[in-house]
Amino acid sequence: MQERTFSMFHIFDGACGTMLQANGLTPGGCPELMNVERPEVMRMIHEKYIAAGASIIETNTFGASRLKLDHYGLEDRVTEINTAAVEIAKAAIAASGRTVKIAGSMGPTGRFVTPLGDLDFENAYETFHEQAKALADAGVDYLIIETCIDIQEMRAALLAAKAAAPGVPVICQLTYSDDGRTVTGTDPQSAAIILSAMGASIIGVNCSLGPEQLVPIVKTLAENTDLPISVQPNAGMPTLVDGVTRFPMGAEEFGSWAPKLVAAGATYLGGCCGTTPDHIRALAAALHGVKEPVRAPREKRLWLASRSRSVCIDKDLPTVLIGERINPTGRKTLAAEIKEGSLLSVKKEAVNQVKAGASLLDVNMGVAGIAQAPAMKQAVTEIAQLTDAPLSIDTSDPAALEAGLRAYPGRALINSVTGEDDRIRDFLPLAKKYGAAILCLPVTEEDGVPKTAKGRLAAMHYIIGKAKEAGLTDGDFLLDALVMTVSADKNACREVLNTLQGYRADFGYPSTMGLSNISFGLPNRPLINSTFFSMCLAAGLDAPIMNPYDDKMQRALKASAALLGHDPNGIAFSQDEANLAVPKKAAVMKTTDLPILDAIKQAVIEGEKDAIVPFVEQALKEGKTGNEITEYGLTAAMTEIGEDFGSGRMFLPQVLLSAETMRAAFDKLKERIPASATADKGTVVIATVKGDVHDLGKNITGALLANSGFKLIDLGKDVDSDTVVAAAIEHKADIVGLAALMTTTMPQIDRTIEKLKAANCAAKVMVGGAAVTRDYAASCGADCYAADGVKAVKLAKEIVGAR
């Protein structure tokens, strides 16, 4: 295994917003239109950064996608604006006489991809594809997808960029909050696993935080990929001084962090918000004499990832349990529900299997008479929002496989790829395209199902050879030992054990199998299964596909972990055995055994939209009042959700699902009982201030407020202060919520608050947004500051409750 080194450092440019504003860009104007109307301004900015030492300059196209330009009525000028930006960059480079590369900048759409928002994945894909093609056709050297906060939007952008511009390197940069995760809950390790597998050329981080906060993120990225790492920090965290945005970190201090970022693993370095040519000059100077980073050798292990958690399957790590129960085969009730379009039991199984110890979930929608592709897409989408366990997509239908892989905001496992011609032809390209790992089943076109270990090893060599020809590599394979029934073949058990040992000797890749087939037709199947399981674990089984509710199998797994050294000194086994004396209730997602208000609370926490309405109806039949249901069921749930979100045990996708569930409960209450019987939560007028066209955070907060029972008046984005005041007075608002993403628009919050006070508006003012801080909230005259949507709901309840 060789150490990984890089031949040189690459220096990006920095921010350009302030210079654009100083040269004619009006507040709320379209920065990208300057490419057409004032090309000399953008050329001047490029020339300053090149003179400062930038070896890569970014085009002024961050918001030049169709969806972003639509705000200005420029949606039909995508190609014109992007092409003009590239031509300006080329002219600046030509004038410099230096060798400088061009990175075509592609920013986020400003909307969440479904199910978190209203933007369909295919619409996001087409938006990025159009922009990427325009930039590539104009001649960029890189495409850089930056400032993304949602891994699913990044996946759409990366797929689109690779399709629109084959051969153009793609840089993928997410933006992380101060908790080390993106807004939608993705950690750097999971991001590295997902984006590396999908074929990004360079991965990294930009914006949101200063260089000090980005060092550990860069380090984690570097530890989890072989790709080069990029980093573009802000010049510290912004403040507003006398109505002017100030970034506190000067050029020399900014540059001083360059060696530390390099030591963490970065070789592509630049600046984001608040940085100037002086910052880039200091950064370039600080890199003189700095040695290229030498990253420690990284063993290629099999990693899978959901949006917010990664799981490794490896011979040197504890056994990973793959839950098998989302499969309609032999389960009439589950099959009937899936055929009717209901996923209630599917989602119940997903949550319960994870609670019972499954680290991965196998998802099979193979019901006769249904279109499997849309069923798989729906199942994957909804399960991914409910649980953080990575998924195995189990199908023989290529269309269903692609639907599931496209919908999944992570790195999935394909179950399965055989040596049959159609599987090789149809499945391997999908694995490569979407960065999925493959479960290899030793079945071939010529020989069918081999009965012996020798035959299975031969089949596996063939499959892996074909997979590597398709571009897959070490770290992409999970090998199935293929269990046959011992009642039909007396050597079935022995051949499985020999196969497991052969896999480890020949390949070193992790292994899997379904277990229960071994005992078919025999008495006392649980005894046979658990004994066979222990033998397989000793022979090298790494990831059994099994029923996680089976207590005997679970105990066999834990005992084997102690004996095989995965549970050092048997500590976990001893603790589990000691706990056996305490009766344990089965994990439940929904149950009518709970008191009805507790069942409502549990359904909201679990995001169980399908079950909440029947629970509310049952509560009303039992004589519960609307206020009791609201206080002890719904509000109690949101309180616990707020605590889990604040502590990092729950992330935005789950919070939004819970909020939708609660909204369904409120709608049913309004339908069934008079308005006087439900608690009045109050009215909130919410807006993003004048000049600011970013409203993603505001939309999240608005959804949570509305789903928590508040009457929401959403004025949208780029809203002037007079409109806010008029709406607050007209609707007799209890609260006015003001948001600003950019530091340049923060003074509009001050002006709006002044006008609200001048109009004697009684509403309390809550402020928030990426650029807003608690100190700023206090200085501008706001009544409170909400760091996120969950805190906004809590504060809103306190404000209304105090009246």
Residue extent(s) of CATH 1.10.1240.10 domains in the chain: 596-675
Parallel/antiparallel/unpaired status of strands 310-313 and 302-305: antiparallel
What is d(CA 545, CA 326) in angstroms, rounded to the nearest whole number? Answer: 11
**pLDDT score of 587:** 43
Q: Which helix (H) or strand (E) holds 58?
A: strand 56-58
Give the neighbor-by-neighbor strand order of the sheet with 170-174: 10-11, 266-269, 229-232, 202-206, 170-174, 142-148, 101-106, 56-58
Q: What are the beta bridge partners of residue 686?
A: 714, 737
* Global pTM value: 0.90
Q: Does the pLDDT value for residue 299 go beyond 50? A: yes
Peptide bond into 416 cis (omega under 30): yes
* Whole-number Cα distances in Å, 26 to 105, 272, 609, 692: 22, 21, 45, 12
Percent of the chain, pLDDT > 90? 75
> What average pLDDT does the chain have?
92
**Residue 310 in contact with residue 390, Cβ under 8 Å?**
yes
- Residue 225 three-state SS: coil
What is d(CA 500, CA 481) in angstroms, rounded to the nearest whole number? Answer: 6
**Residue 286 in contact with residue 259, Cβ under 8 Å?**
yes
In words, the CATH class of domain 680-801 is: alpha beta
The fold adopted by the segment(s) 10-286 is TIM Barrel (3.20.20)
- Assign 593 a pLDDT band (cuts: 50, 70, 90): low
**Residue 704 in contact with residue 733, Cβ under 8 Å?**
no
CA dihedral of 760, 762, 764, 765, whole degrees rounded to 10 = -30
What is d(CA 439, CA 420) in angstroms, rounded to the nearest whole number? Answer: 14
**pLDDT score of 242:** 72
Calculate the CA 542 to chain-centre distance: 27
Neighbouring C-alpha atoms within 13 Å toward the C-beta of 30: 23
**pLDDT score of 581:** 56
**pLDDT score of 790:** 85
Q: For the ranges 1-15, 362-376, 732-746, which has the lowest average pLDDT? A: 1-15
Each residue of 319-372: pLDDT tens digit? 999 999 999 998 999 999 999 999 999 999 999 999 999 999 999 999 999 999
Q: What are the beta bridge partners of residue 362?
A: 392
**Residue 662 in contact with residue 319, Cβ under 8 Å?**
no
Percent of the chain, pLDDT > 70? 96
Q: Does the pLDDT value for residue 43 go beyond 90? A: yes
Peptide bond into 115 cis (omega under 30): yes
Q: Is the four-CA dihedral 76, 77, 82, 83 of positive or negative sign? A: positive
**pLDDT score of 122:** 98
Backbone Cα Rg of the chain: 28
Residue extent(s) of CATH 3.40.50.280 domains in the chain: 680-801
In words, the CATH class of domain 596-675 is: mainly alpha
Question: Greatest CA separation found in the chain?
Answer: 89
Alpha helices, DSSP H, located in 540-623: 551-564, 571-579, 596-605, 609-621
Of 320 and 667, the one with more pLDDT: 320
Residue extent(s) of CATH 3.20.20.330 domains in the chain: 10-286
- Joined tokens for residue 656: 């939004």
Of 395, 323, 352, which Cα lies nearest the Cα of 544? 323
What is d(CA 20, CA 17) in angstroms, rounded to the nearest whole number? Answer: 5
Neighbouring C-alpha atoms within 13 Å toward the C-beta of 94: 7
**Residue 599 in contact with residue 592, Cβ under 8 Å?**
yes
What is d(CA 654, CA 641) in angstroms, rounded to the nearest whole number? Answer: 9
Q: Does the pLDDT value for residue 590 go beyond 50? A: no
Q: Which helix (H) or strand (E) holds 350?
A: helix 344-355
Of 722 and 516, the one with more pLDDT: 722
**pLDDT score of 680:** 63
Of 543, 547, 471, 488, which Cα lies nearest the Cα of 511? 543
Q: Does the pLDDT value for residue 604 go beyond 80? A: yes
**pLDDT score of 418:** 98
Each residue of 382-420: pLDDT tens digit? 999 999 999 999 999 999 999 999 999 999 999 999 999
**pLDDT score of 725:** 95
**pLDDT score of 570:** 85
- Assign 585 a pLDDT band (cuts: 50, 70, 90): very low
What is d(CA 543, CA 314) in angstroms, rounded to the nearest whole number? Answer: 9
- The DSSP code sequence of 69-132 is HGGGT-GGGHHHHHHHHHHHHHHHHHHHTS--EEEEEE---SSPBTTTSSB-HHHHHHHHHHHH
**pLDDT score of 589:** 47
**pLDDT score of 591:** 45
Query: Residue 757 contacts by C-beta under 8 Å, 6 or more apart in sequence?
Result: 781
Type of residue numbered 206: N
Q: Does the pLDDT value for residue 3 go beyond 50? A: no
What is d(CA 527, CA 464) in angstroms, rounded to the nearest whole number? Answer: 35
Q: For the ranges 11-20, 639-648, 673-682, which has the lowest average pLDDT? A: 673-682
- Joined tokens for residue 609: 């939209």
Query: Residue 760 contacts by C-beta under 8 Å, 6 or more apart in sequence?
Result: none
- Assign 6 a pLDDT band (cuts: 50, 70, 90): very low
- Assign 582 a pLDDT band (cuts: 50, 70, 90): low
- Joined tokens for residue 95: 């004038």
The pLDDT of 662-685, averaged and rounded, is: 78
- The 10 Å Cβ neighbour count of residue 643 is 13
- Joined tokens for residue 347: 């989602």
Of 706 and 679, the one with more pLDDT: 706
Query: Residue 183 contacts by C-beta under 8 Å, 6 or more apart in sequence?
Result: 149, 150, 177, 652, 697
